[in-house]
Structure 1
Amino acid sequence: MLYERLQELIKKSNKSMNQIERELGYPRNTISSYKRQNPSTKRLDELAEYFNVSVDYLLGRENMPNSDYSDEENELIAAFRMEREDMTPDEQVKFNEAVKDLMKYAKERLNDDSIWKK
């Protein structure tokens, strides 16, 4: 899915793959290597930023190129998904509940000034 999305974005940019690789400072044939292997997280972020799309769009997790989320929210979503990748469905359910509980706890702590004063 990633390589197909990149091909689509390259075509829309009216640039060649080699030109984009040069602009990003990548070695030749880096992008075409993504037919066979996955890029690093850093490269995914760079490509998403270059094409002004989300990483989730590049990976085929979203069908809309840009989300309505802030950069900070997108980082949290990406971290959440990365942590769940190797979990069983049962573990994912438990993980989701634990994260929801953590968010409630964090929100409650916002009003406790003794935590935030140094």
Structure 2
Amino acid sequence: MLYERLQELIKKSNKSMNQIERELGYPRNTISSYKRQNPSTKRLDELAEYFNVSVDYLLGRENVPNSDYSDEENELIAAFRMEREDMTPDEQVKFNEAVKDLMKYAKERLNDDSIWKK
């Protein structure tokens, strides 16, 4: 998925793969090597920044190139995904419901000023 997304983005940029590799300071054929191997996290971040897309989009986990999420929201999404990683599908469904319930509870607490007074 990564290589296909990169090809799509390169085509839209109207640049060649070699030109983009030069601009990023990568050795020749670096991007084409991603057909067979995954890049480092640092390279993924650089590519996402270069093309102004999210890493999740590059990896095929999102279909929208850019999210309008804040850094804080992205951190919460990453934490959510990390906690679900080793769960079975049934556990993931239960976890999702529990998180939704926690969010409702947290929102209700926002209106209780006695909790926030020091």
* Bigger Cα displacement from structure 2, 54-63 vs 96-105: 96-105
- CA 1:89 to 1:115, structure 2 compared with 1: closer, same or farther past 3 Å? same
Larger Cα Rg: Structure 1 or Structure 2?
2
The gaps in structure 1 that reach 5 residues or longer are none
Tell me the equivalent position of 2:86: 86
Aligned length: 118
Displacement of 1:40 in angstroms is 1.5
- CA 1:32 to 1:78, structure 2 compared with 1: closer, same or farther past 3 Å? farther
1 CA distance for matches of 2:98 and 2:79?
15
TM-score, structure 2 normalization: 0.70
- CA 1:22 to 1:90, structure 2 compared with 1: closer, same or farther past 3 Å? same
The gaps in structure 2 that reach 5 residues or longer are none
Displacement of 1:76 in angstroms is 3.6
Displacement of 1:17 in angstroms is 0.7
Cα RMSD for the two superposed structures: 3.0
2 CA distance for matches of 1:40 and 1:87?
26
TM-score, structure 1 normalization: 0.70
Taking the TM superposition and a 5 Å limit, the aligned residue runs for 1:69-84 are: 69-82=69-82, 84=84
- CA 1:110 to 1:24, structure 2 compared with 1: closer, same or farther past 3 Å? farther
Displacement of 1:20 in angstroms is 0.9
Identity of aligned residues (%): 99
2 CA distance for matches of 1:25 and 1:111?
52
* Bigger Cα displacement from structure 2, 75-84 vs 50-59: 75-84
Displacement of 1:88 in angstroms is 3.9
* Bigger Cα displacement from structure 2, 49-58 vs 103-112: 103-112
Displacement of 1:38 in angstroms is 1.2
Note the alpha carbon deviations across 1:17-72, whole angstroms, 9 max, x for none.
11111111111111111111111111111111110011111111111111120133
